[in-house]
Structure 1
């Protein structure tokens, strides 16, 4: 039995993605909980793809914190952004409240400075508290 996708972003909160999707060369955007749940995603991103993005972004952010801690010797390393460049494009993720991040996928020719700035604006506009996701409860099965 599969676990249902948790989609807590309401219609009122999903507007955080719209300005990002209007930027030139931005293809997808998502709000992701730190424990790998998709909280909201762009309309063109299929459910299975969104679930994969959420799981991998959670793992990637955990790896980013771990490698930073290994380099610095500071176990409480906090990420400001995670950037992945590939031949297909860019992935940029930033914290968006406690246990939540905002992620964007854009084509290779995107202006990453503009995207990063707009992501910060959207997080600040919505407010970190509204974007926070409680950690997933353990011990219960679906």
Structure 2
């Protein structure tokens, strides 16, 4: 995908305590990043986040016997703050870094709002690529 969806991060970057964000494809390619994320940092974060999501899906599937739904979000608590990961359907995900001062509940809510917008944008971009479909 060559679609730049960095815009989805703007509302998240406005939250107190959020420092960086990356949007990635399911296979770990960077689709967008916050202004201070270099290409190298974004690519590394995208690849690692894709791996974390894959491991989380496998863990949930393995422990639930395959009866549970998909991963909704992952919150990593670290000495430096929080890392919040949310899949956006089966094609993408958002990951944001935040300080320990962030309101995790507000962050979770806002990320899920942006996930829905990202899913819609990716669906529209896919439909536009299908011959004969106009959006």
- TM-score, with normalisation over the residues of structure 1? 0.79
CA–CA distance in 1 between the matches of 2:122 and 2:68? 21
Q: Give the whole-Å Cα distance in 2 for the aligned partners of 1:131 and 1:83.
A: 24
Which residue is 2:130 aligned to? none
Alpha carbons of 1:76 and 1:34: their partners in 2 closer, same or farther (altered >3 Å)? farther
Counterparts of 2:47 and 2:67 in 1: how far apart (Å)? 22
Q: What is the aligned partner in structure 2 of residue 139 from structure 1?
A: none
* C-alpha distance in 2 between matches for 1:127 and 1:85: 25
Distance 2:122 2:98 in 1: 22
**Alignment partner, residue 131 of structure 1:** 122
Equivalent residue number for residue 32 of structure 2: 40
Tell me the distance in 2 between the aligned counterparts of 1:105 and 1:64: 18
More helix by share: 2
Residue 16 of structure 1 contacts residue 122 of structure 1 at CA under 8 Å; is this kept in 2?
Answer: yes
Q: 2:23 touches 2:31 (CA, 8 Å); kept in 1? A: yes
Tell me, yes or no, if structure 1 residue 114 matches structure 2 residue 109.
no
What is the rounded CA distance, in whole Å, between the counterparts of 2:2 and 2:6 in structure 1? 10
Q: Structure 1: where are the runs of 5+ without partners?
A: 1-5, 135-142
Q: What residue number does 1:138 align with?
A: none
Quote the RMSD (CA, aligned, Å): 2.1
Stretches (4+) displaced over 4 A:
none
Gaps of 5+ in 2: 127-135
